[in-house]
Amino acid sequence: MVEYNIKPATRTGNLSLPDTRTFYWYEWGPVTGRPLIFCTGAGMSGSLGFGEQDLDRLNIRLIVPDRPGLGNSSSHSNKSLVSFAEDVAEMLKYCGLKKCMVLGFSQGAVFALALANICKVTGLAIVAGQDQFSYPATQKLLNQDIVNLVKQRNTEPDTLKQWVSDNITADWLMNFIMEHSSEVDLSLYSQPRFLQAYRQCLNEGFSQGAEGYAQDLLLTFGQ
């Protein structure tokens, strides 16, 4: 079994957006490298990167934002896929970057696709992206609890958002992931060093409460 290599971010950054919100991000790799924006999975802050040992060789500057309401980025009462992409565009402008590559993982896949529409993107990759849960063929493969959540998102979105905000925690999400992941995924998630870093990442993601995650859930379930 390959041991996951974890390196803390080389740099962090933040900027004050035009509406006075703070947008925060983490970076690995050479500052002069080709920028790659990583859209993280559900409830995650940007503190858990990947491929850090190869970034210098590949000349890649890995930039991982905290989505609004998660980690150190200010909440946004009207967060949307477009507003997130516009925040990233402001970050790129602030960093003097005219174009970027984008990678989306799990729930971050939908946000990565939004970036591809708003920013000047030279490459897009989706890794284990969240499925389109409203697609009938996909729904047949889902746990009934997930099917019910998708239906509630479409019929009572405000009720669902409030329930998630009031009840979901980093520990709850961590337990849910561990209980429903495949054996292949668990072989990585169960590694002590990775598990510690992942727990920290989720704790940071929920540091402002669960509203940021609830917004993301509704945005991605609606696609």
Judge whether 176 and 17 are in contact, CB under 8 Å: no
Q: What is the pLDDT of residue 223?
A: 61
What is the rounded distance in angstroms from the CA atom of residue 83 to the CA atom of residue 23? 12
* Per-residue confidence in pLDDT tens, the chain, 223 aa: 455 568 899 999 999 999 999 999 999 999 999 999 999 999 999 999 999 999 999 999 999 999 999 999 999 999 999 999 999 999 999 999 999 999 999 999 999 999 999 999 999 999 999 888 778 888 888 878 888 888 899 899 999 999 999 999 999 999 999 998 889 999 989 999 999 999 999 999 999 999 999 999 999 987 6
Strand order in the sheet with 34-39: 11-16, 22-28, 60-65, 34-39, 100-105, 121-127
List Cβ neighbours of 57 (8 Å cut-off, separation of 6 or more). Answer: none
Q: Which helix or strand (DSSP H or E) is residue 88 part of?
A: helix 81-94
Q: Which domains does the chain have, with CATH numbers?
A: 11-221 (3.40.50.1820)
Can you say how many angstroms the Cα of residue 111 is from the centroid of all Cα atoms in its chain? 8
Q: Which helix or strand (DSSP H or E) is residue 123 part of?
A: strand 121-127
What is the rounded distance in angstroms from the CA atom of residue 101 to the CA atom of residue 35? 6
Read off the pTM: 0.94
